[in-house]
Amino acid sequence: MPLIYGMNINQTTPEAYTYSDVLIKPRFSEQLHRSPITLSTTIGNHHLPFPVISANMKDVTGPKMATLMSIEGGLGILHRFKDVQGAVDDFKETSKYNGPRAGVSLGVQEEDKYRFEELYDAGARIFCIDVAHGHHLLTMNMLHWINNEILRWDRGARNKVTLIAGNVATPEAYEDLVEWGADAVKVGIGPSPVCRTRYNTGVGVPQLYALQTIHQASMSMKTPKSIIADGGLSSPGDIAKALKYADAVMLGSMLAGTTETPGNVYRNEEREFYKVYGGSSSGENKGENRFVEGAIKMVKFQGKAKYIFKEIREGLQSTFSYVGAGNPQEFKNNCEFVHISAGARGESRI
């Protein structure tokens, strides 16, 4: 049976596609109102009422955004572009207001073991191992080390910790990260508007296709782990499409211009307000002047992020009602994609 409505089942090389290549096919619904529709999900060992995670990027998630994400029922993951004491201070500032639900970020170098220990001692229990290419020996080593450390310290602590790892874009990578000890896997190589990986290296997999193939792989596993769609999302409709296969989405560019993101608000020559947004592999974030795979761009100032979250929440509830779903699992089961042409894409304004 074809996975995408309207695609040729006999094609030997399946067409790889992304969000703007499909629409969600409506179907009979018995949902009378949006309000009873739940969006809650589980990421690793943590429950989220709202399936949205703010990206662990320097220009997206600091303490203010992480605090707001917890209030909204989602998750904010603090970035790793600070020294260890700065990362601990940011986590403590966030946990003052809402408890220890904020996530924290690690790299895969030897010094990141000390970062993990200090953040764990500070109360952090959601860790994101964040590298451009997660299907890598160093990621494996870090996951093995963390799992062994948790068990060494406290055998009862493992089910209270969530380890997120990525980024990857293939089923093989997802399966390996799960085997290495990840509780959730971040999917996305190059779909972000500030990521230059595909342009500079030619490497990547169109995002919706990557999510589909990884979700297929997870369904054949005895204990599948959570999937996080990271990058390429520009609207609530894109988020809905991602949730066909993912358990949550990670947002960067959609939140980059909001009040709660780190950084200043500037005014350009046209007297328009903007903020600066850069990919995690940009020179500004790395503090380096060499070949990098991230870009810096100006984004329009958008005001408070709570209004974006309201639009996303209501948009997702409407999407679920269009396919007769009352929760994310029903949506996954009921959602069917229609593969669209360039003309249909223009008609749909996506």
Alpha carbons 180 and 133: distance in angstroms, whole number: 15
Residue with tokens 């990141």: 112
Told to judge if 335 belongs to the known catalytic residues of this protein, a careful annotator would answer no
Pick the catalytic residue from 195, 211, 229, 255.
195
Report whether 88 contacts 66 (CB < 8 A): no
Residues classed as catalytic: 195
